[in-house]
Amino acid sequence: MEEKEPRLRRVLITEAAMEVIDTLRKRYPDGLMFHQSGGCCDGSSPMCFEKGDFKIGSSDVWLEEIYGCDFFMSADQFEYWKHTQLTLDVTPGRGSSFSVEIPLGVRFLIRSRVFTMEELERLPPVKTGDTFSAV
């Protein structure tokens, strides 16, 4: 049976962010992953790592695959974020973490939109991180 509407996505990506990922893939051909950070300094920013460099565990949730990259967040942080749709964007900047795009002089950034009540009801479930711990 055909779905009435396309699947609602928890994470979107901008063209500019896709271009950065394309550039990074040349250096990291085995793939990339994202983990949304919290806390101070470079916190509240998405971190991009070589796939498998950051160990995902049962305390994480998988939100989405964006442009071929899995996007994760801590489960407790997700509790406070789940009513918002995220868009992975990029801005010129330095960052200060181990996120792999930093040497390019750009920093990934999350923009957010609050889901409508109707959207909240048809959001797909997230997966727990232990499904991915072997990644």
Binding site for other proteins (CB under 8 A): 35-45, 47, 49, 53-55, 74, 76-77, 80-81, 84, 91-100, 102-103, 107, 109-114
In the complex, the smallest distance separating the C-beta of residue 12 from other proteins, rounded to whole angstroms, is 14
Q: Using the minimum distance from each CB to other proteins, give the nearer residue, 6 or 92.
A: 92
Q: Using the minimum distance from each CB to other proteins, give the nearer residue, 67 or 115.
A: 115
Decide: 22 and 69 in contact? Cβ < 8 Å. no
Q: What is the CA radius of gyration of the chain?
A: 15
Coil, strand or helix: which one is 46?
strand
> What are the CA-CA distances from residue 62 to residues 26, 40, 56 (Å)?
25, 23, 9
DSSP 54: S
Q: Using the minimum distance from each CB to other proteins, give the nearer residue, 7 or 113.
A: 113
In the complex, the smallest distance separating the C-beta of residue 110 from other proteins, rounded to whole angstroms, is 7
